[in-house]
Amino acid sequence: MTKTETDARRCVLPALGAAAALSAMLLASRLPVTLDFILPRRAGWLLFALAREAFRHPWFRRGFVGLVSVLFVGSLARFGALIGAAIRGRQWTLADFLTRGLALALVVLLLRWSFSIWFEVSQKVWFPFGSMNALEPFANLLFGSLIVFGAMTATLACVSPRPVLRILLAWGGANAFAALLAFSLYGAWAPVDASAGSRRLFVVLVEEEGRPGQAAYDLPVSPERRLPKSGVKRLESLRALYERQAKLMDPAGLRSALMLGVKYNDDLARSLLLEHLSAAPPSPGALGALGALADETAHRIGAVGASRIALAYAHLGDAAQAAVWAKRAAEGPSGIPSGLLDLSGGGALKPGRITGRLQGLKPLKIALYRKTDPAAPYLLDAAGLVASTEPDAKGRFSFTGLAAGRYYLAFAFEVPDRELRVLGHRGDLTLSARKAFLDLPPLTIKLISPRP
């Protein structure tokens, strides 16, 4: 057995130890914040559920940190001993320092490159955050061990008189091949579409300390992108699509985009869609989207998720399903008593309508947003978008089929070179069973002084 083969065998255990510590840390960092919400139904549930339960205990967290530290320190100490044995008694010349130092720098560069390639593909394609795939920690252990083993073997070759160029070329060639596959198959490191898109001016009618006011936001609207069916850019493209549909004030398009995100297991899409459905007007389409979220063949739904589904069903007027999910939310040690959930006052009002008329400058879109709490901020967010429309030739607009609640209006314009002022509004809009129809006084939109 050659000296190189012997050194390689000695690197197996420290490489496994370092990779095991790294895999354990990654598992801990990739655990869901809570198991009580809406999570994808996968075979790896038991692993993540046990880990989540264990990390709830301070003594386990301390023991976990201690074990990982011991693995890392022990692996590095063993590797340090191997390096000490390799350089013991060796006479170093200036040329040795320069050439071997350069080789060690290449080892560090290749180590970083190897992990970059692995994480680019594994965490963006194979195991995106929230996927709860039980194969992830084992894949991290396998590939982490191979990468660290290669780095340790190459480092030992660098500090010994043996040839190192062949090892570095082989490792660099393997990295180049992996990077080429990642680029061609999954679009890794592909340039993002840099087209500028357009800009819009959004004017929001607010109420502060009981007085009406307005806020204006000059925001970019990203261009439409082709959504890849797979690859490292899919999650980024999905979230850009949510943002685009929200800024275009397109509730139907937003709901379709969020449903697509739910299909691809984006945890943000599940959360945003549930909030959006808790504000949207009651309709068969909204109930269908909520049914997809409440599908227990596709999702595991904990107490918090069940309570939010119950509130969404109540808002959309399905009292029977709201009661079912409120009962589900109360089950288990982390259950939420059904008495804490306000399931009253849901469903569309009759007529549940807000109408108005604009004078002066006409906006591209008029949007209605739900304000869940009087103290909540006025946001142009996907969760609060209720409906949108365009004013007719006479400036009239109308929103119908609305549930009881507090609302506010926002307008979208092409960005003008002067500031806008909306006159005549009276603050937040409130619908209730006693006042199910609002006919707003005329709103006048004027261009005033040039923008600074």
Beta-strand ranges (E) seen in 288-434 are: 299-301, 353-360, 365-371, 385-389, 396-399, 405-414, 418-423, 429-431
- Give the Cα-Cα-Cα angle 81, 86, 87 (nearest 5 degrees): 100
At residue 257, the pLDDT reads 94
At residue 1, the pLDDT reads 46
Helix (H) or strand (E) holding 238: helix 234-247
Q: Which residues pair with 410 in a beta bridge?
A: 204, 367
> 260-268 long-range contacts, Cβ below 8 Å, gap at least 24?
260/227, 262/292, 262/293, 264/234, 264/235, 264/238, 265/40, 265/128, 265/130, 265/131, 266/128, 266/130, 266/235, 266/238, 266/239, 267/32, 267/39, 267/129, 267/130, 268/239, 268/242
More confident residue, 336 or 287: 287
More confident residue, 186 or 8: 186
At residue 103, the pLDDT reads 87
Share of the chain above pLDDT 70, in %: 95
* Pairing mode of beta strands 299-301, 365-371: unpaired
- Helix (H) and strand (E) counts in the chain: 13, 13
Q: What is the pLDDT of residues 104-151, one digit of tens each?
A: 899 999 999 999 999 999 999 999 888 888 899 999 999 999 999 999
Average pLDDT on 5-29 reads 88
| Domain boundaries of the chain, sorted by first residue | 3-186, 223-340, 353-450
CATH code for the part of the protein at 353-450: 2.60.40.10
Tell me the angle at which helices 165-186 and 94-121 cross, rounded to the nearest 10 degrees. 20
What residue has token string 């057995």?
Answer: 1
Which of helix, strand or coil describes residue 78?
A: helix
For residue 387, give both structure tokens: 């409906």
At residue 66, the pLDDT reads 95
Question: Do 331 and 304 meet the contact criterion of CB atoms below 8 Å apart?
Answer: no
Question: Do 274 and 38 meet the contact criterion of CB atoms below 8 Å apart?
Answer: yes
Average pLDDT on 155-184 reads 87
At residue 28, the pLDDT reads 92
